[in-house]
A and B are shown apart, each in its own frame.
Chain A
């Protein structure tokens, strides 16, 4: 597998150096591997911290900035960050309004963020955690680790970020974040696996004419292997499980988010969006806003995830609010 890297063990450190060099809007604590806004938020604003394994860029460091995150913690590739990092970030962003932790639902992420909160408590910082678990590919039951946090995480960071920027308090920002998570669902498909730098080979083998349905963002196998299908057929394969799990009525409005997993060209993402657009129109579901591109990736995995978020006026206002990050920018 060809990669444009130096030594595998240096990938994360070097990427963070690259980000700091490329973007004046960011301040990077290289020792703790936390990415902050260069211009800190005003006193009293709720601080928003997220983080996770590296390899999903632009998530999360690409979303640090006005109207979105205050800090992002970068773990090793596909590995949760450690409590020390999260604690440093929490202390770093606290300006008196308390801190929101946005955590994707993976065993490691949840545990490390929990351990960090146990450490933050004596430091006297109020922390509220919201976990995203929008992936319908996994049954949420006592027989699994619960549903994975995927595409809705991006939407949550934007919308909760806007609420915090507007000066709402910690409990309100957390309520909004939870509401976004409750109103969104996602489903993914992969056309190739990805290769973790340290592993040196793909996480699974897919034949030339196979796809993996129900993938997450960590390169692990999905729920089901199928024959390669057209964009039209694949769109149906993504949409059906979402609507089965979260029915959306005629006349309802959504944010439709087609996300590239890293290895699928934008031209194909737009072909997919066209199919989703047609399918939703056929059901009388209105697309109020859209997002298409690579926002929560899995290294170079080819494939897409589809996220639908049922919106209302308030959520749309927060979505439209100004945001100025390296990966998402409007209204400024």
Chain B
């Protein structure tokens, strides 16, 4: 599905985004588990897979009428099913996006980018991370910034979201040399250095899924 400047993102693309994210999480579950075993308690992969499976069931059951409702249902399900720190954080991200989108459909890039920024703010409000803490924020923030810059520059959704996915991927890779200052990895001190953050990895998958759903 190709897009052109001024194009909008329809409900179907949001469903495709969540479907793709669930698929990527499932495919990468063992990888996420391994990353989390190195600097955490090895439950991130399992938790995210369980959460996203429940999300797909909830969406099939509820049949949300617009993207806002879809993302709100996604967020609520993640909060109810994932637990740990990822549940509240990923859940709040989607809940805030859902609130920002209201009942609009389809969604133009500017509104989408603004909603992502609102989602990121939710993560910051809940988890209080800053750049360099070695968390999901280190992938989220560059992705959101790239997306919002692209929206201001009038780029088309597919390009903008692909660029955001690249930024998320780079942000995620950048967590490897960081010394963790938040979450379970922070208990390890310098021993967290040299390991990629699992939460940031899930964020990279999230934006890769978005690129798959909206991209050409």
Contacts and interface: CB of A to CB of B under 8 A. Distances in A.
Interface of A: 9, 53, 75-84, 106-108, 111-112, 115, 137-138, 142-145, 148, 196, 198-199, 201, 203-204, 216, 218-223
Given A77-B43, A79-B47, A144-B181, 16 more contacts: A53-B83, A76-B50, A78-B41, A78-B42, A82-B87, A83-B80, A107-B85, A112-B84, A115-B79, A145-B181, A145-B183, A145-B187, A196-B43, A199-B37, A201-B37, A203-B41
A80 B46 contact: no
Contact of A198 (B43, B79, B183, B191): B43
Given A115-B88, A196-B42, A199-B42, A76 B183 contact: no
B89 A82 contact: no
Interface of B: 33, 37-43, 46-47, 50, 79-89, 126-127, 179, 181-189, 191
B85 A220 contact: no
Q: Chain B's interface: helix, strand, loop or mixed, by majority?
A: helix
Contacts of A221: 38-39, 188, 191
Contacts of A80: 83-85, 87
A83 to B, nearest CB: 6
Contact of A108 (B80, B88, B181, B189): B88
Contacts of B188: 220-223
Nearest to A196: B42
A58 B208 CA distance: 42
Contacts of B179: 143
A219 B183 contact: no
Given A76-B47, A107-B182, A196-B41, A144 B187 contact: yes
B192 to A, nearest CB: 9
B41 A220 contact: yes
Contacts of A106: 85, 184
24 contacts: A53-B83, A75-B83, A76-B46, A79-B83, A80-B83, A80-B84, A80-B85, A80-B87, A82-B87, A83-B80, A106-B184, A107-B183, A108-B85, A138-B187, A145-B182, A145-B186, A148-B187, A198-B43, A199-B46, A203-B41, A218-B184, A220-B185, A221-B39, A222-B187
